[in-house]
Structure 1
Amino acid sequence: MSEAFDIYTLLFLVLAVVIFIRLRSVLGRRTGNERPPYDPYTRPQPKPGAPEGTVVALPQGRGAEAPVGREPGPSKEDIAERLERYAKADSPLGKSLTALIKADPSFDPAQFLDGAKTAYEMVVGAFAEGDGKTLKQLLGDDVLDGFSKAIAEREQRGETHQSTLVGIDKADIIEAELKDKQAYVTVKFVSELISVTRDAAGEIVDGDPKKVREVTDIWTFARDTSSRNPNWKLAATEAAN
């Protein structure tokens, strides 16, 4: 029995050595393409060109930096190209947007509307959830005060509110204004929304969880064009229906 035990033991040892050598030959090689070890204390690097902590950010536009030897600011052709889909150049809106682009060459209506739609979705969700922290980042002081009071009153009544944004059908810039260096851009949103409010007992007091409503909102965003902060904040709201 001892001889059989010694033979089997020897065979297993030889087999283990062979497997170890083969694994080491495959897994132990370094190609130079390995990822560096993860460091949980290292701050992640932002994407190139992405400003930190932005909400409704105004990305750098095509006329943000003037080439050497030329006057700063976008050309007439560049402004016309930006406005082409959003306003006629000789219309009141076109003239207002032109003034805004000249005051802040990074302003681009297409990029602005993308950010405005994202902000709309975030505000609707944050209000339904009573998320004051998110609302504080997105709203101006006056609007934040109104939203906060509505949330507090809702909570005091023991009510809960649920909103599901099915989609934004349209988002159009309808007004723009530049007062000193403060820019205001008003957007008309047409969206599909499911909303319902329940009391403390879970009974529906407003809305319908199975009905999609078309909602039209008119929101005005504001930003100080002299500030290096690219964020826009919601300065005023109006429900058209």
Structure 2
Amino acid sequence: MNYSFEYIDIILLAMVAGFIFLRLRRILGRRTGREESFGSQFGKELTKKKTQKDEAKDGLDKFDDDAKDQFIEGAKIAYEKIIVAFAKGEKNILKPLLGKKIYKNFSDEIDKRNKENLKSEL
């Protein structure tokens, strides 16, 4: 048995490992202490997503107090008209005050009440 090539194999493998180490060091670089800190990606502060309620509050802040009061009074009047018209079964009053889907729901309920001869009193 000839073991004379064992030393040559070890030397060749050490040279290959050294070559790979030097290439990696050149590609990846060295730490000098002046590197910028990347920081954690999770350290960023999350911004709160605006909800519809928040957007409505932002929109309300644009109006002065008189406009807000007028809006609230108008909403009260419209609400009262809707309730009274629904109780009396007056679809012609409900139509301009409600959206299409909601008007359809109200109209279906009025028709259902009329079919069953139910009366609503205020």
TM-score (norm 2): 0.49
Bigger helix share: 2
Bigger strand share: 1
TM-score (norm 1): 0.26
Structure (1 or 2) with the larger CA radius of gyration: 2
